[in-house]
Amino acid sequence: MLRKADLRSTAVQKDWHLPAGSSSGSAHHMNTELFVLTYGALVAQLCKDLQNDEDINKELDNMGYNIGVRLIEDFLAHSDVRRCHSFYETVDVISKVAFKMYLGVVPNVICKDPAGDEYSLLLERNPLVNFLEDLPDNHSSLWYSNLLCGILRGALKMVNLATDVCFVQDRLKGDKETEIQIKFLRKLEGSKLMGHK
């Protein structure tokens, strides 16, 4: 699969302010255990309740969405990001600030589409699977971390961006990478929290 060059090397380097109280490079100090283990218990419960992987993926996405529409307020309140002027900037903020802030990792951003509407986040390390070796048996189509897609979709909706967010690869499934695809669809009406120019 041909990859576009990592845009970070050519685009303007932005210094997004990290929230006061967070130290760069201290990802390993983050206490995500409670969240990660709770998430694991939730996925296990979903596997018990729902037989179909499609249904589980959908449920995780919905739950993520409900979280995202509220998480965005917390994010905007605790980070120092200014208004983004392009979708690329938005994705850059997601990777460098949001992922860093909440999960302690910074995924790589690659551009999938020259028109600039489609990006991928590549997670070198996915904290959600820290204590997991394999997918649960008989759930080979499960996107284990699908909650993340819903969160992104919900959060972006609240800043007036309709997007399509989904996993396209997952190392847990045996793929080479763990890749989340974010596609910009359209701007939405209404001021909600923070408009885009």
Partner 1 sequence: TLPFPMADEVLFEFLHMEMITYVYKSLGQDDQSRNNLSKESYGTNTAARDENRVTLTLEHGKCISVLEGMGFRVGQGLIERYTKDTPSFKDDLDVMKFMCKDFWTHLFRKQIDNLRTNHQGTYVLQDNRFRLLTQISGGKQYLEEAPKFLAYTCGLMRGALSNLGVTCAVTAEISVIPACKFQVVIQRT
Alpha helices by DSSP H, the chain: 33-49, 53-78, 87-93, 99-103, 147-158
What's the closest the beta carbon of residue 132 comes to partner 1, in angstroms? 12
Which one among 8, 11, 40, 125 touches partner 1, defined by CB under 8 A?
Answer: 40
Question: What is Dmax (Cα atoms) for the chain?
Answer: 48
CA distance 106 to 30: 13
128: CB partners within 8 A, 6+ apart? 36, 39, 103, 144, 145, 147, 148
| 8 A C-beta contact, residue 63 and residue 154 | no
Q: With respect to partner 1, which residue has the nearer C-beta, 11 or 42?
A: 42
Which x/- pattern, by CB under 8 A, does the window 44-63 give for partner 1?
xxx--x---------x---x
| 8 A C-beta contact, residue 115 and residue 183 | no
What's the closest the beta carbon of residue 102 comes to partner 1, in angstroms? 5
Stretch that binds partner 1, among 9-17, 40-48, 117-125, 156-164 (CB under 8 A): 40-48
What's the closest the beta carbon of residue 30 comes to partner 1, in angstroms? 5
What's the closest the beta carbon of residue 10 comes to partner 1, in angstroms? 30
Return the residues of window 135-154 that contact partner 1 according to CB under 8 A.
Answer: 147
Which one among 6, 74, 164, 175 touches partner 1, defined by CB under 8 A?
Answer: 74
| 8 A C-beta contact, residue 50 and residue 170 | no
Q: Both tokens of residue 186? A: 């359209």
| 8 A C-beta contact, residue 121 and residue 17 | no
- In a 3-state reduction of DSSP, which class is residue 30? coil
**Number of residues in contact with partner 1, rule: CB under 8 A?**
36
67 lines the binding site for partner 1 (CB under 8 A):
yes
Contact set with partner 1 (CB under 8 A): 19, 21-23, 26, 29-35, 37-42, 44-46, 49, 59, 63, 66-67, 70-71, 74, 78, 101-104, 131, 147
